[in-house]
Every structure is written in C-alpha cells, then in structure tokens.
Structure 1
C-alpha cells in the first residue's frame, strides 16, 4: 500500500497555488507544491500587480463582496508575509483611477460602479471626476482626458517580489515547493487518494490534490471530472526606464513600481497560447500613456512583453470540488493578486470543510453546466 504523504499536494506554484498552500499550512496541514517548467505560461510572472476593485462584480454580487473582502484583508496579509519571509511586497493601497477619453465610455463605467455599489451597500466608495476638476486634483493630466473614476481602496504591489514572498513564506511554514515538477497525469486510487505521475517518471501519492495550475490544468481537470474550460487572454505591457520623480496617480493601465519604472498595459486579446508582444499594440499603449500623462512622452521604453491571463468562461473565479473524485479540487481565477489574502485564509477553510467553512457555492463550476457556458 502506498504511503499518502504529504497530506495535500497543490499542482501549480504561482500566486494562486502558493496562496492556497499558505492558508492550508496556517491550518496545520502538510503541504507540497509542485511547480511546472520555466517555459510554462506563467501569469504570475507577467501580471500588473494590481489590487483592484472598481467595477468588479457589477453583474455578479458574490464577486463584488469577495473582492471587497480581499481589499480589506490586504494590509494585514502584507504584514504577515513580511514577518514570515522578510520581504516587503511594496503594498501601496492609497487609491486608484480609471481614466477616460470618451464621455460615453465614462458614463457606461459609472453605471457599472453604481450597480456594484448597489450590491455592496455602504461598503462601496468611489467618485467621478470630470475635466478641469480632475486636472485641478492631478497636475499634468492631458487635455484629451474627459474624466476619471477614483476608488480609495485600490492599490498595487511589486508582483515579482510578492511571488517570492509567497514562496518563502510557504517554505518558512514548513511547506515543500518542488520546482520543475510537471504533472503529466493524476490517477485516483481505489483505496483513496491520488497518484500523480510526473513528466520525469516519478510518481507522488497524496490524500488530496488541488489544481491551481492555470492554463496548465486543463487536461488534468478533465481527468478528475471537472467541466470548467479555462482560456488564455493576452495582455501586453510596456516597461519604461526608472524615473526619479513619482507619478501622482495609480491607474489600472499606468502604474509606477516602487523601483521607479512605469508599467503601461491594460490590453485584452484572444490570441490562443501566443504570448508575443506586437508592435501595433505597443504603439497604442504608448499613445494611451502620453494622452493620459503627456510628461511620459520623453521617457524611454526599455522592454516589453506579453503574458497570458487565465480566464474562466464567465471571467469569475472557480472553486470546485470533484464529485466523482472526492479530495480533488479546482481553483482558478485571473485576479490572483487581489484575491490572495482570501485564498490564504477563507478558501483554505472551504477546502478543509471545517466548522467555519464559508459558503462559496456561487463560485462552483455548476453554474457553467446550468448555462451551457463551459
């Protein structure tokens, strides 16, 4: 009989997998994280680092509340990571802007914020700033910007430092992180538990398995009876030289990292698994940045890249338990930074099915079966 150790194995060592691992370790479980190859599509190494709530869940109240819970939990979570890892993730949660050059688009987004606020009640906080009122508050905003929304709870972190802090924190708590461990197949065992066949020929046995591998979990998910079909969404980024002066704002498309460089992004495209950056998009990003903040016109771009987001059929997180294979879980989302504090706390209680188990039924994949959206 095979020994089932460690107690829980997580497939995927990105932001989502490591956050879940940390939550399970806090609950006293033994955890091993299997991280794939360097050449895998890794959203955790190409994301924008935003902690963002504006508009999220406007048409899905559970997601609006879930996001707001995460925003509130971030200060304590960042402190927790620093104590465990010794790494400052550079949390800045002093508010964020969405800029508009088209008044009708701004009005449409205001309607989304109003709907989100209707779900959240008194928890929602935002304001709309138009034209000269915006420019009087933020010096240097371009004349073609018609206005912006502002929400005080939005912010960002250094994404690569955050990834490192999570990995170090998992290891500090006694978790095992195995790099270069690609899982080729997962086989449920007759006596309970699972056998994980690795690409190098090794077989690992575990009592429970949690798929957090993003785009890499598609085949494994089907083998375990999950129906969710994730898809890639390409986002492209420009990175500028380091600036001595700080930008007077943070937006969902323009952010300055703590080291001084400016990231410019916000694109969305269906390009399959092709994560290459493209010149037309790079030009549009540069034009957008200069339109919003003309002072960036003379700043040098030093590199650019594309990265693949992990999208569920409706864009919302999926937290699913396998019916035919008890002990198998699927966790996937495209907001791994924003939701990390909840993945490292509330979601662990849901996985362990403790007396404090939260109601996350709204995020189950059964919603796709009912809507035929999977």
Structure 2
C-alpha cells in the first residue's frame, strides 16, 4: 500500500478548510499553515450561498452544484451552521428583475415573482415591503468562520496538522517541481502545496515566478450586536443587503460583497447601519457592534482560479471570490485532482492557463 501523500494547504479560510477536510478524507497527510483559523477574508464574508447575479450559464451550473454539495457536507459533518433560509431580492429595476428571473428559471433555478403581501409575509419586519420582488427559497447562508473551524477541527481528528501563527515566506522549488514552503518557523517539505491564501496567493505564487492575476477590492460589512429575530432570510434591497446570523447579529453591506468604505470607514459604517435601522421595524433598537473591511480575492475575469500550474508541478491554486458558495465543491474536486492526479473536466474553465498570452 503506497504511503499517503504529504500535502501543505496554505490558508485556513473556508476554501483552505474545505480542501484540507476533503484531502484528509482521501487519506492524505495534510498540514494546514495559516496566521489563524478562519482566515482573513472569510470573517468579513456576507456568506450568502447562491447561484444568482448575472453569471453565464456554465458558472451558474457550477455554483448550483456547490449548493447541493453544502447539503451533502451538512450530512457528513453534523452541526454545520447552515440555513436554507431563502433570499428576497428587489435591488434592480422591475424590467431587469423580470429579465433576470426569466433567464434563471430557464436554467432551472427556483425563482418566483412575489407581491407586497407575500414579501411582508416572508419578512414581516420590513418597514416598507416591496410591491414587486423575487424570491428563491433554495438559497441560504452559513456562518463561515464557525464552518471553517468545524472542518479544520474534524480534519485534525482525522490526522491533519494545524499550524497557526505561522507565515509562509516563499515556496520552494527543486528540479522544476514545488517541494514545500519556507515559513517563519523553518522549512517544510511536501509532495504538493495548495495555495488557498486569498489575497496573499499572488505574492506567494510570484516567489516561484507564477503570475496569478487577482484584484482585492475592499468591502465594508456592518455587524450589529445580537438582537431578537428581525429577519427570516436574506434580503437584497436597493443598496442594502442584509441577513441575520444564527447568534442574532444583523449583518449588512451596500451589496453582498460590501463596497469600498473610502477614507472614513467609521462614517461609512455609521451611515450604512442607519440605513439598516430605518429599513426594519424594530431596527431602532439595533446597536452597531463593529464593522469589517474584507479584501476579496477576485481573479481579474471574475471567475475562480482552480487547479495545478503549468510549469510548476506540485503547486495547486484555489483563489476565488465566491468562496462561501463554492467551498464544498471546490474542496471535493480539488482533493480528487490532487490525490488522484487526473484533471476534472468541470474545472477546465477555471485554470490559470486561460490568462496565458496568446500569439497573434
């Protein structure tokens, strides 16, 4: 029986946690290296699980498959803080909402047009329910840091090593192959290195001459103190996206990814939170606890970068903005590719090689 592959996963956010968990389930010897459990971008995520928002059909179906993977993961990992609470949306003009709904329905999404009465029944604490909105009952949310920690703790029970408080300085290469990492605590060798380090991915890949074209736009999210239940599901109103966490915090951004807070983030947070309070009956009792500014690792064409790297065998990349929606599917397919060695055709649109310059 062959010895298990030694695999280093750099990053302990929701993507790194999912990949590490799936790798341990396939018998790999896994070491996770990160500054802290939960990562950097994951704590600032709105954590909406969906296949919405203007995606082309191939990406819609990839996201839809990952929604189903969340249900599978919840079966395998009891206690996963996952809720299929549904999403209510009216943040586009009516004609655009109608066109969007028609397309998504044509692809099989369970999207319904609803009126003011139904909106009010779904979300009775809206101060001004919309006369026209869309509702998708199959959308949901997860508490992302708690989910990442649950995955990592279970991976550790199955033999993974969790190395927190450690920074990776660079990747190591020998005879053309990536052989490990140099960290602030020394050198660690492996058969494969997985970069799931979010905004830090580009700099680490550059240490072995690999260009990963990502942007890291900031996104402001406000977090209330825990309160009585004011929201039943996800609410996407014009310039205000909200949900209530399992511990009772109302979290909100100007959109689901948050927007740039500018030079005065506290003022931007106060203004955004005032809008939250005005939108909800009983919102006057909400208190702002804190705000986060997340830097979302977004490949320049908007689609994930997943897979091995031509010219750097032993290196595997997993960098994407829709990390919460895609985490369980990416973890599953990445682990299968790394351990099995066979490329997965469904990942073909997401390879780094698509950014390679083409000759005229």
The alpha carbon displacement at 1:266 in A equals 4.1
- State the secondary structure of the residue aligned to 2:67: helix
Q: What's 2:34 paired with?
A: 35
**Distance between the aligned counterparts of 2:88 and 2:62, measured in 1?**
21
Superposed, 1:225-244 pairs within 5 Å as 225-244=209-228
**Contact preservation (8 Å) 1:209, 1:328:** yes
Structure 1 SS opposite 2:234: coil
1:126 aligns to 2:125 (yes or no): no
Change in CA separation of 1:143 and 1:265 when aligned onto 2, cut-off 3 Å: same
TM-score normalised by length of structure 1: 0.83
Corresponding residue for residue 49 of structure 1:
47
Structure 1 stretches lacking a partner, 5+ long: 83-87
Equivalent residue of 1:359, what SS?
A: helix
Q: Find 1:221's aligned residue among 196, 199, 205.
A: 205
Larger fraction in strand: 2
Give the deviation of 1:17 after TM superposition: 1.0
Bigger drift between 190-199 and 45-54 goes to 190-199
Q: Could you tell me which of 187, 192, 204 is aligned with 2:188?
A: 204
Could you say if the C-alpha distance between residues 193 and 159 of structure 1 is closer, same or farther in structure 2, counting changes exceeding 3 Å? Answer: closer
Conserved 8 A contact 2:216-2:298: yes
Offset at residue 215 of structure 1 (A): 0.9
Kindly report which structure 2 residues correspond to 1:246-325, keeping only aligned pairs within 5 A, or say none.
Answer: 246-251=230-235, 253-267=241-255, 268-269=258-259, 278-325=265-312
Structure 2: gaps of 5 or more residues: none
Q: Quick check: 1:98 aligned with 2:96?
A: no
Q: Which residue of 2 aligns with 1:85?
A: none
CA contact (8 A) 1:225 1:323 kept: no
Tell me, what secondary structure is at the counterpart of 1:94? coil
Match of 1:172 among 157, 178, 190: 157
Question: Residues of 2 paired with 1:297 and 1:257: CA distance?
Answer: 18
Q: Match of 2:320?
A: 333
Q: Structure 1 242/359 Cα, relative in aligned 2: closer, same or farther at 3 Å?
A: closer
Residue 114 to residue 348, structure 1, CA distance change in 2 (3 Å): farther
* More displaced 10-residue stretch of structure 1: 351-360 or 166-175: 351-360
**1:81 equivalent in structure 2:** 77
> Given that residues 309 and 334 in structure 1 are in contact (C-alpha distance below 8 angstroms), is that contact kept between their aligned partners in structure 2?
yes
Match of 2:21 in 1: 22
- Please state if 1:342 is matched with 2:329: yes
How far the C-alpha of 1:137 sits from its partner, in A, is 4.7
CA separation of 1:278/1:193 partners in 2, compared to 1, >3 Å: closer, same or farther? closer
CA distance in 2, matches of 1:31, 1:136: 48
Taking structure 2 as the reference length, the TM-score comes to 0.86
2 CA distance for matches of 1:265 and 1:299? 16
Helix, strand or coil at the partner of 1:337? helix
1:335 Cα deviation after fit: 1.9
2-side partners of 1:146 and 1:287: how far apart?
23
Equivalent residues, number? 351
Out of 229, 237, 241, the residue aligned to residue 245 of structure 1 is: 229
C-alpha root-mean-square deviation of aligned residues, in Å? 2.9
